[in-house]
A and B are shown apart, each in its own frame.
Chain A
Amino acid sequence: MIERAVDEDGKLTLTLHVNGRSRRVKARAHHTLLQVLRDNLQLFGAREGCGVGMCGSCTVLLDEKPVSSCLLLAPLAEGKDILTIEGLASPGGELHAIQQAYIDHTAFQCSYCTPGFILTTWALLHEKPRATPEEAREYLSGNLCRCGSYVKIMEAVMDARDRLAGG
């Protein structure tokens, strides 16, 4: 355990590596990564849905693994590579094949859960480039879409798999 200095507001100074950039933020020790992303960095793509790690709307990639940013204390994310949905497109703004597949299949309704689904899809296809539909359903079952766009989400995921394999 390393002791850290806090300012008069009770805040720590943290250094987080977000979407390829090093960011310094001030946050209290109990603030979650989700709070820091939204409140300090104005990255609104990760969204709270349940606050207890059940819905996946706040998913970000931590060293290429999907995590619920609502459950991760921000200080524990120091030294890790954090990728949010805002960092998935190419630096020139070209959408990732997974994002394009979600658009092409209209794999969303209200779209609140969409960033979480896309990042979990990225992790799935990174781990298992030849994922079967059964594997994909299992892998994505920690992301909830209340609008129930699941049929089209699965179409987008399988299409993205094929596009990435082909490219």
Chain B
Amino acid sequence: MRAIGSPVADTRFVGRRVPPSEGQQRTSGRLKFAIDHSVPGMLHARVLRSTAAHARITRLDASTAERMPGVIGILTGADLLRGGIKPTYGPVLPDRPLVAIDKVRFAGEPVAVVVADDVDTADEAVRLIDVEYELLPVYVDPEAATAPGAVLIHDTVRRRELITYPDLILNTDAGPNIFNHFKLRKGDVDAGFRQADRVFEHTYRTPQQQHVSLEPHVAICEIRDGRATVWSSASSPFTARFQVAETLRLPQSRVRVVTWHIGGAFGGKTYPRIEPLIAAVSWRVGGRPVRLEFSRAEEFYTIARHSSVVSIRTGVRHDGTLVARQVRILWGAGAYADISPRTIKNGGWAAIGPYCVPNAWIDSYAVYTNTTPAGGFRGYGVPQVCWAYERQMDEIASALGLDPLELRLRNVVHEGDSFSTGQTMRDVHVEDLLRSVAQRIGWQRPLPAPSHARAVRGRGIATTVKGTVTPSTSTASIKLNEDGSVNLLVSTTDIGQGSRTVLAQIAADALDVPLESISVAYPDTDLTPWDQTTSSSRSTAMMGGAVRTAAESVRRQLVEIASRLLEVGAADLNIENGSVSVSGAPARRLRYAELIRQSRSGNILGHGTHATEGGLDPETGQGIASHHFAQSACAAEVEVDLDTGRVHVADLAMAAYAGKVVHPTYAELQVEGNAAFGIGQALMEEMVFDGGQVANANLGEYMIPSLLDVPPRVEVDLLEDRSGDGQIHGLGEGGAPVVPPAIANAVSAACGAAIDTLPITPERVLRAVRGL
């Protein structure tokens, strides 16, 4: 780690490698996940999924299955039309039926759900349901779905009754099946292109990819006495509560969502997919508790990353200065909108990259396709556009005869520059990060000899900035108990980012108590206060801010009480080491427990809200895109086997701007994890569709990185601001987008293969090398 600014007063826990929370449970198999939970009298559900990718349902006969011993009930589209629950759901547009009503729009869409005494019976009954389909044209690719004359996958696009996203532009005349348009207009793009000496035009593509959280989606729902309880793998319990309340037409106070540890999320568990379904299923069987767990194959039918087609046109001066950029992005959103409107917005304004481009024009379109619905995925739209602009930067550098690092350094944003959204950039360190990875990969050094005669080596570099959802809100509560111990009540879920450790560190410092005295609650929407989401690299920055504010409230109350008990003005009181003492008379002190007992306050409750401001104009995309920016860079050295086309990542250097590091080990883990994740996206991962069917919905054919796919050493540089006003910058996602273009740029440098489509498979490399 490197620091800028001079260090401020030491903290006891923040910034230190304290032991991880629940270390013993994590290594003993006793860490609790939703998948381990059961409730008495629980029934089991299994889903019948569509075999057609786009079709009208002409017949559905569940009568044989219904008569099977052990079957309790079957939820079908007909039940949704009986009233009682809201038939459709979705975080932005309520366009998705809980189970198919008259039409299916992707292969794997739930058509019916069987509830039975045990899983074996439910499995058997699912096979006895008879469905007939009348097939419709299937569009996997967003270009085909938007071609003139394409059949509409949804006849209409409707807003939800409770408008949660008022700035959406829903319908456009840009083509069929486009349901949302994000626009960015900056400067005069035509004039910009007229100033250019050279104009470069490229199209880059990425496939649908899957999160592959090792813990699948799992949930249990019970509805009793007008209250619903959902025990779930949701990474954001309040988005689940919102949706279940809407589905069951209950006030949010009567829906309780409970979570424990989450076995990986990566954006796939931020918005509810299994929770409204299991709520409807429980409703169908009179509210009895029902459990549903998706298989690995079903995960591939539940949520995915958007496929993309990015057409990028950039005007450049001879000296490499970027003067204009126009980008048109088609996002393959799958069959339902899910959170697409937010993803394509984030990926939309990010398409200019961390560069000063005075004239910009972006059209970002969300397109319905007949595939698994797409949603948030580590990087949230940025990986797709970063793939495009960072690949094109190398094409530009090569055409102008410039070093790729030099071209980037001539254009990157610095303090005070205007970003694509017109926002004035603050606290930006992109140049420093680029120089850091270049130096550590040995950018200027001669390449080592390849391992054999038919192999070549090359180096590549890439950088990005990624925003965090803005505006956004987190809240936290602190309960200081009569013995001086602390309950920290937060709804951030521990998805692997270490939130239970880092939030305890922040709370312990803010209250000046030992780390062991902090007990972090598991999220429970009846007990822990509201949080927007555990996503967008916001846990430490946003919830950390809320925890600090809650601690300030506790401290204020402690001082007030002490002032009364000790008969000393508040200004003469200090908080230190779990007590309040009188300045200049350190012997006159009361421990927190003593203060609570003597004042008979029972306990002290503090609450804190941390909210950020910002937002973009829907017509121009100008405004505050992000409260702060995750900044990262990657340099890769690869060896390409010219006979097999295999790419071997020999060395990887990563750098990220961390602002302030709360836990160095967890911070490194985020960046190292991003590196591994990015290698998978670069070289391995693609959902392959055959006639609308996912052809590789298993981990035998959809491969994710193992120890052998990641270089033994991943060099991580975390740049920190220790000047005191340094704020926490999220690290959860920034590293993933830069890895694929850095690797592709290295491949291109090694063998001249201009890869424009992910993943960089041996076949793609050989085709590019041989000009096929």
Contact = CB atoms under 8 A, between A and B. Distances in A.
Same complex origin of A and B: yes
Nearest to A118: B27
Interface string A43-65: 11111111110110100000000
B45 to A, nearest CB: 16
Nearest to B295: A51
Interface centre among B22, B35, B212, B263 (most CB of A within 10 A): B263
16 contacts: A45-B28, A45-B30, A46-B29, A47-B215, A52-B698, A55-B214, A109-B673, A137-B707, A141-B707, A144-B699, A145-B676, A146-B212, A147-B496, A148-B705, A149-B672, A151-B710
A44 B261 CA distance: 13
Given A85-B27, A150-B672, 4 more contacts: A52-B700, A85-B28, A102-B26, A110-B264
A144 B680 CA distance: 12
B707 A153 contact: yes
Given A106-B20, A106-B665, A44 B29 contact: yes
Contacts of B29: 43-46, 84-86, 115
Interface string B651-680: 000000000000001101100111111000
A154 B712 CA distance: 8
Nearest to A53: B700
Given A47-B214, A52-B698, A109-B496, A146 B20 contact: no
A125 to B, nearest CB: 15
B714 interface: yes
B64 interface: no
Contacts of B296: 48-52
A146 B706 contact: no
B497 interface: yes
B120 interface: yes
Contacts of A152: 665, 668-669, 672
B699 A54 contact: yes
Contacts of B708: 137-138, 141
Pick the 9 closest A-B CB pairs, nearest first: A45-B29, A148-B676, A109-B496, A110-B496, A112-B263, A148-B673, A85-B29, A103-B23, A50-B699
A105 B20 CA distance: 9
Contacts of A54: 698-700
A36 interface: no
A110 B673 contact: no
Interface in B188-225: 212-216
B261 A151 contact: no
Contact of A144 (B22, B33, B706): B706
Contacts of A28: 120
B36 interface: yes
A112 B218 CA distance: 14
B266 A114 contact: no
A22 interface: no
B30 A86 contact: yes
A89 interface: yes
B244 interface: no
B214 A148 contact: no
B22 to A, nearest CB: 8
B707 A149 contact: no
B651 to A, nearest CB: 13
Contact of B27 (A47, A103, A112, A140): A103
A47 B35 contact: yes
B354 interface: no
B28 A106 contact: no
Nearest to B706: A141
Contacts of B261: 110-111
A136 B134 CA distance: 53
B119 to A, nearest CB: 9
Contacts of B144: none
Nearest to A38: B36
A90 B97 CA distance: 52
A143 B708 CA distance: 11
A112 B264 contact: yes
A95 B214 contact: no
Interface residues of A, number: 54
A137 B28 CA distance: 22
A88 B24 CA distance: 12
Contact of A149 (B33, B35, B673, B704): B673
Interface in A123-167: 133, 137-138, 140-154
A156 B213 CA distance: 23
A49 B666 CA distance: 23
B214 A44 contact: no
B1 interface: no
A102 B31 CA distance: 14
Interface string A76-114: 000000001110110000010001101101101111111
Contacts of B27: 85, 95, 99-100, 102-103, 108, 114-115, 118
A49 B699 contact: yes
B723 to A, nearest CB: 27
B149 interface: no
A145 B669 CA distance: 12
B669 A146 contact: no
B230 interface: no
Given A112-B33, A150-B707, A49 B214 contact: yes
B262 interface: yes
Contacts of A115: 27-29
Interface centre among B19, B264, B495, B710 (most CB of A within 10 A): B264
A57 B699 CA distance: 12
Contacts of A106: 17, 20, 498, 665-666, 669
A85 to B, nearest CB: 4
Contacts of B673: 109, 147-149
Interface in B17-63: 17, 19-20, 22-24, 26-33, 35-36
B666 A95 contact: no
B312 to A, nearest CB: 29
Interface in B614-641: none
A71 to B, nearest CB: 12
A126 B312 CA distance: 55
Interface centre among B26, B216, B698 (most CB of A within 10 A): B26
Contact of B698 (A50, A89, A102, A111): A50
A47 B264 CA distance: 13
B600 interface: no
A110 B262 contact: yes
B452 interface: no
Contacts of B672: 148-152
B713 interface: yes
Contacts of A48: 216, 296
A132 B150 CA distance: 58
B117 to A, nearest CB: 10
Contacts of A99: 24, 27-28
Nearest to A44: B36
A103 B699 contact: no
A108 B29 CA distance: 13
Contacts of B30: 44-45, 86
Interface in A11-69: 28, 38, 43-52, 54-55, 57
B120 A148 contact: no
A94 B162 CA distance: 54
A118 B31 CA distance: 14
Nearest to A56: B706
A137 B711 CA distance: 10
A106 B17 CA distance: 9
A163 to B, nearest CB: 14
Interface centre among A103, A143, A150 (most CB of B within 10 A): A150
A99 B214 CA distance: 20
Interface centre among A51, A86, A100 (most CB of B within 10 A): A51
A133 to B, nearest CB: 7
A44 B36 CA distance: 6
B686 to A, nearest CB: 16
A105 B497 CA distance: 15
